[in-house]
Amino acid sequence: MPAEFMGLLDDIISWIEIEIFALHNLISLGVLVILAGIIYLFKTKIRDKGRLILNSVPFNLPPGWPAFWDEISYRFGLSIFVLFYNLIAAVLNLPIALTLIAGYLLVAWLIIRTITWLLPTTVWVRLISYLIWIIAVLNIIGLYDLFVAFFEDLEVSLGNFQISLMMIIRGVIILGIFFWIASWSEKYFRRRLQRSNSLTPSVRVLVQKTIRVVLYAAALVFALSSIGIDLSAFAFLGGAIGVGLGFGLQKIVSNFISGIIIVLDKSIKPGDVIEIGEVFGSVKTLNTRFVSVVTLAGKEYLIPNESFITNEVINWSYSDDLVRLDTTVGVGYDSDLKQVQNLILQTMNHNDRIIKDPEPVCLLKEFNDNTVDFELRFWIEDPAKGVANIKSEVLMEVWDLLAENDVNIAFPQRDLHFESFSAEAVESLKEIFNNSKNQDSSDS
């Protein structure tokens, strides 16, 4: 056993002497140490110069990019220098064993760190990180091409089309990259559109939807083309897709088209106060499939776009935000009508939500059986805050002011006047009274 162990130890020492302490490896290690030292001496200048360059880019970088750049600037600079050395060494036949390994590891670390900074930490992000490390290690030990060839050989035939496992893996990766680019581009354009004052909200939503569809469609086409798939092979799917859109996707397509119509005719815009069915609230967003309406109670209704085309919709702020509200107050016939009218006008003129132009009006509406009815008409310019609550507020204030001035709010009542009784009616009443009295005596 000791002899076997000593033999293994001798083999390890021999391998280290041959592979690690070989002259070409020592030269490569020395170059790597020198490059690392140079970058360390100039890391402050590299960091500051990088910040100036990133500040001058024509688009907005994600929040927190200065701290991210400070973290990666040293390794980024070292990877650039290592890359240049490897290119020069390959031409001049200089030792590059360790610098090549360092280059793979640095690039892998930079890619993974950038992905984890840009994307939230999820299972998919971790899987991508592991995959990048695996690719880097396979390149270092020289097995990457062998694995690629192995996965290329694992293929199936679909008619005249060959699909390999490597093609699927490459397609998923490329599709994910293109979709991420499309998602980032869509967010960038959305931020630019939201800051644009020259576009109406409806046009802004339409442009956003168009950009989203175009970007994701382009990402899908580019991804399929990049892995060698002939897009003409999918032409036969056109008929099937048409049938699917006509039957299975009928409602989805209907809502999508209805959403485009809503945006184009500008009948509903974000911020409008609408009433559809029993839902009253403010439009929050216009989406591809539905309109989000938030009520004063905090409920958010997701109403399909088609409902706004086929049903009656009341838009309280279609042309402007001015809304006239009507309500009725009834007082007794013994009231001073001029005084009542003045008190009601006084109440409406002192309410902060009621505007003064057009001015509120109090009209004598009609003489009812039990009341003299006044109609209150007033205008508000903030229907998003509610219309039922302002009516309630005005009526409460009218009640208080009329009560302070001894004006009675009328209510239904009937007066019965007995002019005469017949003798038979009097005798009947006496008999009923006596029977009731005798019954009470017997019970006691």
pLDDT in tens, 21-61: 566 677 777 888 888 888 888 888 888 888 888 877 766 67
Domains and CATH numbers, the chain: 27-142 (no CATH), 252-315 (2.30.30.60), 323-404 (3.30.70.100)
Flag the least confident range among 85-94, 187-196, 329-338, 345-354.
Answer: 187-196
Segment 66-107, tens digit of pLDDT = 888 888 888 888 888 888 888 888 887 877 777 888 888 888
- DSSP, residue by residue, 150-219: HHHH-EEEETTEEEEHHHHHHHHHHHHHHHHHHHHHHHHHHHHHHT-SSS-HHHHHHHHHHHHHHHHHHH
The residues near 339 (Cβ < 8 Å, ≥ 6 apart) are 405, 407
Using a cut of 0.85, tell me whether the model's pTM lies above it.
no
Start-to-end CA distance of the chain, whole Å, equals 120
Query: For position 395, what pLDDT does the model report?
Result: 92
- C-alpha–C-alpha distance, residues 425 and 328, integer Å: 45
